[in-house]
Amino acid sequence: MSMWSRFFVRTLALAAAVLAAVSTVEAATSRIKDLAAIEGVRENQLVGYGIVVGLNGTGDSLNNAPFTKQSLQAMLERMGVNTRGANMRTANVAAVMVTANLPPFAAQGTRIDVSISALGDAKSLQGGTLLVTPLMGADGEVYAIAQGALAVGGFTAKGDAASVTRGVPTSARIASGAVVEREVEFKLGSMSAVRLSLRNPDFTTARRIALAINDLIGVPSAEPIDPSTVRLTLPPKFNGNIVDLITDIEQLTVEPDLPAKVVIDEATGIIVMGQDVRVSTVAVAQGNLTVTVTEQPEVSQPNPLAAGETRTVPRTQVSVDDSSKKRMAIVNQTVSLRELVDGLNALGIGPRDMITILQAIKAAGALQAEIEVL
């Protein structure tokens, strides 16, 4: 085989390898673990009312926060100190609300993080310590007990003429600051069926998840019930343990499908468009009438020997910009999100004007997507 023949064969082999690599590029997929959650496996919110002590004069003023004074008196009485009728003027105590999330399957004795927020007129919680605070659930039962030194991310420093505040000094956290005292009963291992709840409900995604699970198991065990729920029944070969089945299916990858949507935040001018947004051929013209009025008053000063007085003479300059240089542009029918964005950017407009244009294109029926305004 000649040199040119070998070169030609190698070139063909390289081209075939490139084409094979391009053809095997798959669409973006996600794990079922990231697309859906097990119904019933969830966090529970806890809340409690507590007292923070040890503040350096930055706590509640007891005259303006009577609940802090009552809480302090009740705490001292439980410890054998009688303060009824006494004039209490301490500024080292603050009433706070304590919140936490109880994770699923949290066992008794495990620790969870807590967040603390000032309730009264305290200036800062820096250096404070939270006293024993029961954390209750929505049913009124105590599920955890919180206590510990506060970690505050913000601070306040001030003098006679200026002050500096960074972050929020009246909010704090305690890492592992609460001990779980009561468990939430949920026996997942003894269940014969579970329901997968999709985080983004969609008919197509639910059906793809069910098909992927059935392909893995080999028997029809998963069934989509609605856009947000897939029912999963335990097959006989998993020996009655649904945890083994969930472990096997949570790593399966599925290509999620979402409706075409344009999300607009009017307050910040943010526009987010999905990849399936399509637009028909449409002509767009954008221009604003801008009138600028500039005042530059001048002072008229007479000569020292001349009779007269000093006066301010008004000088006004008015300019009008009707954007006459801007012309109507054609946004062609697009097949991708990139071409749609390029077509709108070709008009030289900003995000604020683009929001109005997208709404006008939708009103004209040329935008095949849902517009959601936050």
Strand ranges in 33-154 using DSSP code E only, listed in sequence order: 36-38, 44-53, 93-102, 111-118, 129-136, 142-149
Residue 20 pLDDT > 90: no
Helix (H, G, I), strand (E, B) or coil at 46: strand
Verify that 209 and 144 share a domain, yes or no: no
For 288-302, the pLDDT digits (tens) are 545 555 657 777 777
204, containing H or E segment: helix 203-217
CA pair distance 250, 222, nearest whole angstrom: 13
For 255-304, the pLDDT digits (tens) are 998 888 888 887 777 888 877 787 777 776 666 545 555 657 777 777 66
Q: 2 CB contacts (<8 Å, ≥6 apart)?
A: none
Verify that 93 and 157 share a domain, yes or no: yes
Q: Which two tokens stand for residue 216?
A: 């893995």
Cβ 264 vs Cβ 271: under 8 Å: yes
**pLDDT for position 142:** 95
State the first-to-last Cα distance of the chain, in angstroms, to the nearest integer.
Answer: 69
Residue 21 pLDDT > 70: no
Question: What is the average pLDDT across 314-337?
Answer: 60
5 vs 187, higher pLDDT: 187
Verify that 167 and 281 share a domain, yes or no: no
108 vs 243, higher pLDDT: 108
Instruction: Evaluate whether residue 334 is within a structural domain.
Output: yes
Task: Tell me which of 219, 238, 254 is where a domain ends.
Answer: 254
Instruction: Evaluate whether residue 12 is within a structural domain.
Output: no
Verify that 49 and 176 share a domain, yes or no: yes
Confidence band (pLDDT; 50, 70, 90) for 352?
confident
Verify that 83 and 176 share a domain, yes or no: yes
Verify that 324 and 347 share a domain, yes or no: yes
Which of 22-36, 90-104, 287-301, 330-344 tops mean pLDDT?
Answer: 90-104
DSSP 162: -
**pLDDT for position 328:** 55
Classify strands 261-265 and 370-373 as parallel, antiparallel or unpaired: parallel
Residue 104 pLDDT > 60: yes
Helix (H, G, I), strand (E, B) or coil at 243: helix
Question: What is the average pLDDT across 21-33?
Answer: 64
The CA distances from residue 281 to 48, 266, 278, 349, 355, in Å, are: 58, 26, 10, 19, 18
**pLDDT for position 17:** 46
CA pair distance 93, 55, nearest whole angstrom: 6
Verify that 219 and 143 share a domain, yes or no: no
Question: What is the average pLDDT across 195-216?
Answer: 92
Instruction: Evaluate whether residue 104 is within a structural domain.
Output: yes
Residue-averaged pLDDT of the chain: 80
**pLDDT for position 87:** 78
249 burial (CB, 10 Å; 0-12 / 13-18 / 19+) is buried
Verify that 242 and 201 share a domain, yes or no: yes
Verify that 220 and 278 share a domain, yes or no: no
Instruction: Evaluate whether residue 243 is within a structural domain.
Output: yes
Domain extent, residue 209, equals 193-254
∠ CA(57), CA(61), CA(67), 5° rounding?
125
**pLDDT for position 24:** 39
CA pair distance 36, 185, nearest whole angstrom: 22
Verify that 83 and 143 share a domain, yes or no: yes
Task: Tell me which of 128, 155, 180 is where a domain ends.
Answer: 180
Confidence band (pLDDT; 50, 70, 90) for 330?
low
Q: Percent of the chain scored above 90 by pLDDT?
A: 30
Instruction: Evaluate whether residue 75 is within a structural domain.
Output: yes
Question: What is the average pLDDT across 167-179?
Answer: 91
- The domain tally of the chain equals 3
Verify that 136 and 174 share a domain, yes or no: yes
Which segment of 78-92, 252-266, 313-327 scores lowest on mean pLDDT?
A: 313-327
Confidence band (pLDDT; 50, 70, 90) for 322?
low
Instruction: Evaluate whether residue 5 is within a structural domain.
Output: no
Q: Which two tokens stand for residue 228?
A: 């947000």
Cβ 52 vs Cβ 93: under 8 Å: yes
Verify that 106 and 164 share a domain, yes or no: yes
Which segment of 228-232, 247-251, 354-358 scores lowest on mean pLDDT?
A: 354-358
Which of 247, 271, 254 shows the shortest CA–CA distance to 337? 271
222, containing H or E segment: strand 222-226
CA pair distance 302, 50, nearest whole angstrom: 75
**pLDDT for position 9:** 42
Instruction: Evaluate whether residue 89 is within a structural domain.
Output: yes
Helix (H, G, I), strand (E, B) or coil at 152: coil
Confidence band (pLDDT; 50, 70, 90) for 47?
very high
CA pair distance 344, 357, nearest whole angstrom: 9
Instruction: Evaluate whether residue 7 is within a structural domain.
Output: no
